Structure 1
């Protein structure tokens, strides 16, 4: 059975250090007058039920940002900005649904049909995790692992993985039945890694 949106909690991952942006809080950088995280929330909201924001800085700003969407802000339970898996764990623990759909805060153009295609794949393959691949003009395939639909029942295994000092998303996915879903529009998954890239996108 494929989960419908009411059984999916959306999770915006905004808890990173923003190292490649000089340490700024990436989700709060503005594009066309709105914070990047707000763009992602707008894209996720119609595709999910409840919404969560994983943020380790400026919780009051994210709380205000998420208020129109009914989003709850939560921080990592592990210290030291340990990476996206820590944000995923916080989301899996906090979700009151059977599934979590995660997306990074720096991808303002994520597809409006992301949840649909991932739920279809998860159900048809009876998988635990569904994630995203794209192919560029030269035929190179890229995996976008932090775009994922995951069963919340994976939380304990993820906690054990992190407690063992592991941090790599792909390594944890390899422990579970994971299906990779090909999306045609690679631009939809374009993530902004620098202030220059943000300025370039602002001019588009």
Structure 2
């Protein structure tokens, strides 16, 4: 049975410490005059039935950014900034849908068909999780695990995984049936992990 937009809640992952940016709130750094998170929200909104923002700081600012999309801000339920899995867990627990589509707050060019392609692969492979692999000009593959479509029914298992002190995204994915969807163009998945990379994005030409 085909997965529809109405079955998917989008999640913008903006709950990290921004360590490689000197501790700033990454999702609020500007690109072309707008916060990075605003670009991501705009890309995700048409692909999902509802939106969530995972944020552990500046929740009022994120709530304002999300207001045009009726997005809800959710905070980690696991203490100590344990990483993106905690954001995924908060999103799964808050979503009122069968599936959660996640994307990091610093990838402003994410594909407009991300949900459709991941949903098709997840359904065709009877998988629990669909995530993204890209190929560079030399044909070398890179995995982008926080771009993912996940069944929200996995929340209890993820909660137990985190409670056991585990933090690695790929290790948790390995516990479930996961399919990697190949995208031939890397550019939609460019992200800004440092202020220099953000400056590079400002000068770069997006994928269109």
TM-score by structure 1 length?
0.99
Partner residue, 1:80: 80
1:177-188 equivalences in 2 (<5 Å): 177-188=177-188
Unaligned 5+ segments in structure 2 are none
Match of 1:51 in 2: 51
- Residues 150-188 of structure 1, C-alpha deviation per residue, up to 9 Å, x if partnerless? 000000000000000000000000000000000111110
Contact 2:52 2:73 in 1 (8 A): yes
Q: Counterpart of 1:114? A: 114
In structure 2, C-alpha distance between the alignment counterparts of 1:63 and 1:195, rounded to whole Å: 24
Helix, strand or coil for the counterpart of 1:123? helix
Give the length in aligned residue pairs: 204
Deviation at 1:203, TM superposition (A): 2.2
Give the secondary structure class of the aligned counterpart of 1:17.
coil
Asked if structure 1 preserves the Cα contact closer than 8 Å seen for 2:50 and 2:71, the reply is yes
Give yes or no for contact 2:8–2:49 (8 Å, CA) kept in 1: yes
Residue 97 (structure 2) pairs with residue 97 (structure 1) = yes
Asked if residue 194 in structure 1 is aligned to residue 202 in structure 2, the reply is no
* TM-score normalised over the length of structure 2: 0.97
| Alignment partners' CA distance in 2, 1:156 and 1:200 | 40
Aligned-residue Cα RMSD (Å) equals 0.6
Runs of 4+ in structure 1 over 3 Å off? none
- CA offsets 1:75-121 (integer angstroms, 9 cap, x no match): 00111110000000000000000000000000000000000100000
**Correspondences of 1:29-68 after superposition (within 5 Å):** 29-68=29-68
